[in-house]
Amino acid sequence: MKIIGLDLGSRTLGIAISDELGFLARALETYRFPDDEYPLAAEYISTLCEKEKVNTVVLGLPKHMNGDQGIRAQISYDFKAMLEEKGNLKVILVDERLTTVLVDKAMISGNVRRNDRRQKKDEMAAVVILQNYLDKMRF
């Protein structure tokens, strides 16, 4: 069964999806929404999960480097609750520390243009979040 991975920002939502066997994550899209309109984003993901026949979502949980959780983490907890209310979804929060840094470095070393990096970094961060989860589940 496919799994969706999410990297939630204040205006964008990076979305990745696994293959049916749960081995590989790939970028799906970046959903853009008005500032802090998380219910709109939750509705979009709920509809996408129905369309893709997905019942598990892996959502990045932003933490500070010392492990503390701030306001962004609380937003992720609230978003998780919204998704779970909308449908029969299992939402798993996973530590997303350094995913965006890793993605930026990988795209820079791959000579990806700055504008293209800006457009794709959220969905690529979602790929890293989801792939890390898939790898962890296999071992």
pLDDT at 70: 82
Return the closest-CA partner of residue 86 out of 48, 29, 135: 48
Q: Is 35 exposed, middle or buried (0-12, 13-18, 19+ CB in 10 A)?
A: exposed
- What does pTM read for this prediction? 0.89
- Give 42's contacts (C-beta < 8 A, 6+ positions apart): 79, 82, 83, 86
Write down the domain spans for the chain.
4-138
Residues 91-121: tens digit of each pLDDT: 999 988 777 777 767 777 777 787 776 777 7
| 12-70 per-position pLDDT tens digit | 999 999 999 999 999 999 999 999 999 999 999 999 999 999 999 999 999 877 777 88
Q: Domain spanning 4-138 has what CATH number?
A: 3.30.420.140
Contact between residue 43 and residue 36 where contact means Cβ atoms under 8 Å apart: no
The string of pLDDT tens digits covering residues 57-94 is 999 999 877 777 888 999 999 999 999 998 789 999 99
